[in-house]
Amino acid sequence: MTKWPMVRLRDLAQWGGGMTPSTSNSRFWQDGEVPWISSKDVKSAYLQGTERRVTLIAVEETGLSLRPAGGVAVVVRSGVLAHTFPVTFVPFECVVNQDVKYGVPVAGVDGRYLSSVLIASNSRILSGYLKQGATVQSIEFERLLEMKIPLPPLDEQKRIVAKLDEVGNELKRLTSNAEVFSVLANRAIEAQLVGEFTDLECDLVALDEIAKVDYGTRVTRKRDGGSEYPVYGGGGETFRLDAWNRDSCYIVSRFAMSAECVRYVPGKFFLNDSGLTVSTVDEHRLQQRYLDLFLLANSDLIYSLGRGTAQRNLEVTAFRAILVPLPSIYAQEAAVARIEALLESSTELTLIAAQRRGLQDELATLVSEYILKGAV
């Protein structure tokens, strides 16, 4: 086996960081054309694009530096570092924020090879260079730059990258059929779920007549922040508090709606004013579980009641007027039993697909490590 020289990371690329231009200055963001990489964007080995872009004015008037295409972006500050060191190859010009470092490979170094080495070194980097902060994890980047990695000749680097692509494509092919089956099956289950309510022969009653809508409470991280209970609103967890106002229930997005506008949150949590909950006013007339599943099954309808361009917000008056099929309690119990069986099937399919994706990622990492050791 050829012994390749071990070279420090700082000598393989020119590294730099970035910042976040003022979000209140529209000149920096409106109609932006320069991709702005944040930790949210670094989710795959090859970056396809970014959620947000800045203007050339932002590049000229702030501390941002335009980075050339063909570099490597790594996340150095984020909660995701608790389990993953995100790395991506960037095929276009860009700028980065303060949580990301960008490396421009020096002569004789292939950017795809460099990113592959760092991806394969995930465990080594997390175990040796992770720093636990008071609120979020970070990488001791100056120390990381001293880490040495193997550097074969440029032609060999390109051969390794080609081999990794070949193996990656084969892994994707092996899992694609199962993925497609899972998606199609879940779509069929979702259609059947909606049908459970539309096929009921019974009276239709406005939601506002049989249920109570309760908004969450406005809180801020700076004023109310704590550590014990998660805070939810229109989406996922945002921060944590030392107080809670909901316990194991479904929530509906009120502000900043996404397609997943109805979701179940287990355990005690704090609901802020971006979300709401719906509860039955009479369990002898409308069972809570039946109501929860009705809302879940009608997520698309609820999402369609959102209004706004920059931010989609729920039109609550229309939401309150949604017509709910109201059969007998016995029929509600029977519908709940059928729906829960459907949801169980959907969950099993989703878990299988996730396990296959996880296996694919794990195999890809193992193959990367194997190839980079010069074994292939």
Say which DSSP state 5 is in.
Answer: P
Same domain, 138 and 252: no
Same domain, 77 and 137: yes
Backbone angles phi, psi at 49, to 5 degrees: 175, 180
Same domain, 129 and 211: no
In a domain, 157, yes or no: no
In a domain, 222, yes or no: yes
Ranges of H-type helices in 133-231: 141-144, 154-198, 207-210, 221-224
Most confident of 99-103, 116-120, 233-237, 350-354: 99-103
What's 83's domain CATH number? 3.90.220.20
* Torsional sign, CA 273, 230, 299, 296: negative
Structural domain harbouring 93: 6-151
Of 151, 176, 193, which residue sits at a domain end? 151
Q: CA-to-CA distance for 246 and 251, rounded, in angstroms?
A: 10
Same domain, 143 and 33: yes
Q: Residue 296 class from Cβ within 10 Å (0-12 exposed, 13-18 middle, 19+ buried)?
A: middle
Q: CA-to-CA distance for 285 and 338, rounded, in angstroms?
A: 19
In a domain, 256, yes or no: yes
Q: Which of 375, 356, 372 is nearest to 182 (CA)?
A: 356
Q: What local confidence, expressed as pLDDT, does residue 365 receive?
A: 59
Element (H, E) at 52: strand 52-54
pLDDT at 50 over 90: yes
Q: What local confidence, expressed as pLDDT, does residue 1 receive?
A: 41
- The confidence band for 253, taking pLDDT boundaries of 50, 70 and 90, is very high
Q: CA-to-CA distance for 82 and 131, rounded, in angstroms?
A: 10
Domain count, the chain: 2
Q: Which of 141, 139, 117, 113 is nearest to 126 (CA)?
A: 139
Same domain, 136 and 268: no
Q: CA-to-CA distance for 255 and 237, rounded, in angstroms?
A: 14
Of 292, 310, 326, which residue sits at a domain end? 326
Contact 130, 79 (CB under 8 A): no
Same domain, 226 and 295: yes
Three-state DSSP class for 258? Answer: coil
In a domain, 375, yes or no: no
Say which DSSP state 190 is in.
Answer: H
Q: What local confidence, expressed as pLDDT, does residue 166 receive?
A: 78
> Among the listed ranges 1-5, 70-74, 219-223, 346-350, which one has the minimum average pLDDT value?
346-350
The string of pLDDT tens digits covering residues 101-126 is 999 999 999 999 999 899 888 888 99
Most confident of 41-55, 178-192, 329-343: 41-55
Give the pair of three-digit tokens for residue 208. 């506002």
Three-state DSSP class for 220? Answer: coil
Same domain, 144 and 241: no
For the chain, what percentages of helix, strand and coil (3-state, to nearest 5) are there? 40, 25, 30
pLDDT at 193 over 70: no
Q: Which of 187, 205, 156 is nearest to 320 (CA)?
A: 205
In a domain, 369, yes or no: no
- The confidence band for 361, taking pLDDT boundaries of 50, 70 and 90, is low
Q: Which amino acid is at 335?
A: A
Which residue is associated with the tokens 């989406």? 235
- The residues, ordered by sequence, that sit 6+ positions from 199 with a Cβ below 8 Å of its Cβ are none
In a domain, 108, yes or no: yes
Same domain, 224 and 142: no
Three-state DSSP class for 248? Answer: strand
In a domain, 144, yes or no: yes
Same domain, 12 and 113: yes
Ranges of H-type helices in the chain: 56-61, 111-120, 122-129, 141-144, 154-198, 207-210, 221-224, 288-297, 299-304, 316-320, 329-372
Contact 275, 232 (CB under 8 A): yes
> Among the listed ranges 75-84, 99-108, 333-342, which one has the minimum average pLDDT value?
333-342
In a domain, 54, yes or no: yes
| Residue 363 CB neighbour total at 10 angstroms | 16
- The confidence band for 241, taking pLDDT boundaries of 50, 70 and 90, is confident
